[in-house]
A and B are shown apart, each in its own frame.
Chain A
């Protein structure tokens, strides 16, 4: 008994298809360690730089580690850290935006000044500098990217709330004697959420590029942790003789970003059919 979607609604079908693909990637990332045929960090010096084979579907790298296992397990690192990041900036940014605009006054001014200041730095510039000062490591990379990316949500949430505040149902809710947290959670958030969720969905791909980009520059994960950007950087010195060192992690990054972007687009179309000018992709 499957639920048959309305055939007449291609937007919804697209959304369902891409949701399914997105879930598939999550499943892969989650189950990666169980699907991987070999230990991704175990090196085997007798089998370095091997071409693809049954034992090593993508071949091996310079230390004889299974590239397939590293790509699969790298999904967990790259994708989950991006998701975690989006979760953090979404929650934090939204909270700042909603609370400051609802409370208003000095708090609002202060919060907006802070976002102004953070926004005065180009994202990657600040990220590179902070990561450079903190030193490498995945946790530091996540902290770094979170520090520079939350402001977008604060801005968006704020403008949503300002729009809602004027509406009659809010007045009604206030007059009915609801407490502030109740108003925020019951009345504001549900109504303000959809553009924020769309932004978050589109941000997954951006954060993948951010995490992989920092690792590519040597400011992200440390060896031997498998991570796609770091694997690409590793492969640079070897790809002429062993193209797989670049091809497989590169394809993994490309495909996952594509799926997340398609998912984000379809989610946007489904929630709000009107196209909006968003920030250029990073």
Chain B
């Protein structure tokens, strides 16, 4: 009995001694929560560069300004000497986290390393050779490359110290350096005092991974995290008009869309794709189900860009029309309402992933809506769909991509619509489109580029090769006291030297 009382006492002390969660110490540690998880900090690994830039760990030679124009960043200047030659002059006094200076040779090593390891980097940068002289890099491209400076903004082109580099040990030039990184878990960063842009205001920056958006929401409410971009639309209401929180929303170019596998027997039928695209009640998804987390998308790029909007026509919402289209294509409704053609039921699987919080809700909504036009949908919601995408083992996948990460349509058209494109998982292939993309690659005239970009999208839109649903409103919710944590429309940004925590 005595033991019991003592233990109970110990237990209750443990319960109540904690008090408030917030640390009262003077250390400024900003905790950012996210549903995304990465296994590496190395920019050559898939999309890890985005993560490392977000952490304030790595920086690129150029960077997009608030109006999506590329400006030099680690570079002092970037000049286009000839169509295939670029001269990059580095800033003076930039140091890596291990104390080594950023020299032209170091930048060259970093760029050459990534084009050797990452296919997107290779096709994005099109570097033929790099010559170094003091702080100047002279870069020759394989073809005329009008958007080379945009390509330098891509996180894969982040400058890393190549002398010592593993997935968890990465020396960059950013305002924060790695203290501890747990692959597929949290990242702990500390201030880099020798940062070229001045001593960072925060002492620490912690990236808190939390797969469940409900828990993430509660963690922001309880003060365990200070900010997050991944609070689900319907939960944002909990923070709106509350004096303790700031909400910063930006019209991102990230598109939520359906990958149709054109090689699939059912989805390969353009009539089915068209019917599905007609059945998507995007306005309701965006405004009601996601509570304004997205804006309706009719095509790949957001409306505010010159190569989108009215100039690229998508399929409009028309439920009856969708039914009629299926009927006309020979899909007759059975007793249970599910259509069939030649005895084969119109039954498909839609896969999606959980980390982008809008997608699972969209998947369920689309499932319900397609049921109405007689398509039976099975859902497969998982942690990651990369494996399925790359293996081509899917019918429809709901996915999301930032369409203009570099302020220019080139990289997205290259990757998504070119028959050999790195993200062309649905295997859309059209020789005319490929030809136009090749033309775009070498075109320096801005007006002509826009014209080409519009035309390139036409065929894919006609064939309903994708189903575009919405463009995201990237919403950063932070606790009061979080200062200058940016929310850039390109999605490529994160903590910087000016970010501060004022209690």
- Tell whether any CB of A sits under 8 Å from a CB of B in the complex: yes
Other-chain contact of A241, B238, B281, B364 (Cβ < 8 Å): B238
Name the residue of chain B whose CB is nearest to the CB of A49.
Answer: B234
A45 close to B238 (CB less than 8 A): no
A63-B289, A222-B379, A223-B379 are known contacts. Are A45 and B365 too (CB-CB below 8 A)? yes
Within 8 Å of chain B (Cβ to Cβ): is A134? no
A62-B361, A222-B379 are known contacts. Are A237 and B367 too (CB-CB below 8 A)? no
Least CB distance, A250 to chain B, in whole angstroms: 15
Instruction: List A contacts of B367 (CB < 8 A).
Output: 223-224
- Bound Cα distance A5, B30 (Å): 70
B232 close to A237 (CB less than 8 A): yes
B238 close to A63 (CB less than 8 A): no
Other-chain contact of A62, B212, B234, B378, B379 (Cβ < 8 Å): B234
Other-chain contact of B235, A46, A63, A240 (Cβ < 8 Å): A240
A236 close to B289 (CB less than 8 A): no
Contact with A along B351-386 (1 / 0, CB 8 A): 000000000010011011101000000110100000
B234 close to A238 (CB less than 8 A): yes
Within 8 Å of chain A (Cβ to Cβ): is B213? yes
A45 close to B235 (CB less than 8 A): no
Q: How big is the A interface, by class?
A: 10 to 19
Find residues 203-228 in chain A having any chain B CB closer than 8 Å to their own CB.
Answer: 218, 222-224
Least CB distance, A140 to chain B, in whole angstroms: 13
Instruction: List A contacts of B213 (CB < 8 A).
Output: 237
- Bound Cα distance A237, B218 (Å): 9
- Bound Cα distance A238, B237 (Å): 11
A224 close to B364 (CB less than 8 A): yes
A45 close to B234 (CB less than 8 A): no
Contact with B along A239-279 (1 / 0, CB 8 A): 11100000000000000000000000000000000000000
- Bound Cα distance A222, B218 (Å): 26
Within 8 Å of chain A (Cβ to Cβ): is B98? no
- Bound Cα distance A136, B361 (Å): 18
Instruction: List A contacts of B218 (CB < 8 A).
Output: 240
A237 close to B214 (CB less than 8 A): yes
B288 close to A45 (CB less than 8 A): yes
Find residues 229-267 in chain B having any chain A CB closer than 8 Å to their own CB.
Answer: 232, 234-235, 237-238
Find residues 56-87 in chain A having any chain B CB closer than 8 Å to their own CB.
Answer: 62-63
Other-chain contact of B284, A45, A49, A223, A241 (Cβ < 8 Å): A45
Find residues 192-244 in chain B having any chain A CB closer than 8 Å to their own CB.
Answer: 212-214, 217-218, 232, 234-235, 237-238
Instruction: List B contacts of A223 (CB < 8 A).
Output: 364, 367, 379, 381
Name the residue of chain A whose CB is nearest to the CB of B218.
Answer: A240
Instruction: List B contacts of A49 (CB < 8 A).
Output: 234
Name the residue of chain B whose CB is nearest to the CB of A238.
Answer: B234
Instruction: List B contacts of A45 (CB < 8 A).
Output: 281, 284-285, 288-289, 365
B368 close to A41 (CB less than 8 A): yes
Least CB distance, A183 to chain B, in whole angstroms: 49
Name the residue of chain B whose CB is nearest to the CB of A237.
Answer: B214
Instruction: List A contacts of B369 (CB < 8 A).
Output: 43
Least CB distance, B422 to chain A, in whole angstroms: 29
A63 close to B364 (CB less than 8 A): yes
Least CB distance, A234 to chain B, in whole angstroms: 9
Instruction: List A contacts of B364 (CB < 8 A).
Output: 43, 62-63, 223-224
A240 close to B217 (CB less than 8 A): yes
Instruction: List A contacts of B361 (CB < 8 A).
Output: 62-63
Least CB distance, A159 to chain B, in whole angstroms: 36
Name the residue of chain A whose CB is nearest to the CB of B235.
Answer: A237
- Bound Cα distance A170, B281 (Å): 72
Name the residue of chain B whose CB is nearest to the CB of A44.
Answer: B368
Least CB distance, B382 to chain A, in whole angstroms: 9
B289 close to A62 (CB less than 8 A): yes
Instruction: List A contacts of B289 (CB < 8 A).
Output: 45, 48, 62-63
- Bound Cα distance A63, B285 (Å): 10
B234 close to A241 (CB less than 8 A): yes
A46 close to B217 (CB less than 8 A): no
- Bound Cα distance A218, B285 (Å): 23
Name the residue of chain A whose CB is nearest to the CB of B221.
Answer: A240
Other-chain contact of B214, A46, A62, A222, A236 (Cβ < 8 Å): A236
Find residues 439-476 in chain B having any chain A CB closer than 8 Å to their own CB.
Answer: none
Instruction: List A contacts of B285 (CB < 8 A).
Output: 45
A63 close to B365 (CB less than 8 A): yes
Least CB distance, A132 to chain B, in whole angstroms: 12
Other-chain contact of B368, A63, A218, A239, A240 (Cβ < 8 Å): A63
Instruction: List A contacts of B378 (CB < 8 A).
Output: 222
Question: Which B residues have a C-beta under 8 Å from some C-beta of A?
Answer: 212-214, 217-218, 232, 234-235, 237-238, 281, 284-285, 288-289, 361, 364-365, 367-369, 371, 378-379, 381
Task: List 29 A-B residue pairs with CB atoms under 8 Å apart, sorted by A's residue number.
Answer: A41-B368, A43-B365, A45-B281, A45-B284, A45-B285, A45-B288, A45-B289, A46-B288, A48-B288, A62-B234, A62-B289, A62-B361, A63-B289, A63-B361, A63-B365, A63-B368, A236-B212, A237-B212, A237-B213, A237-B217, A237-B232, A237-B234, A237-B235, A240-B217, A240-B218, A240-B238, A241-B234, A241-B237, A241-B238
Q: A41-B368, A222-B379 are in contact. List 8 more A-B contacts (CB 8 A).
A: A43-B369, A46-B284, A46-B288, A48-B289, A223-B364, A237-B212, A238-B214, A238-B235
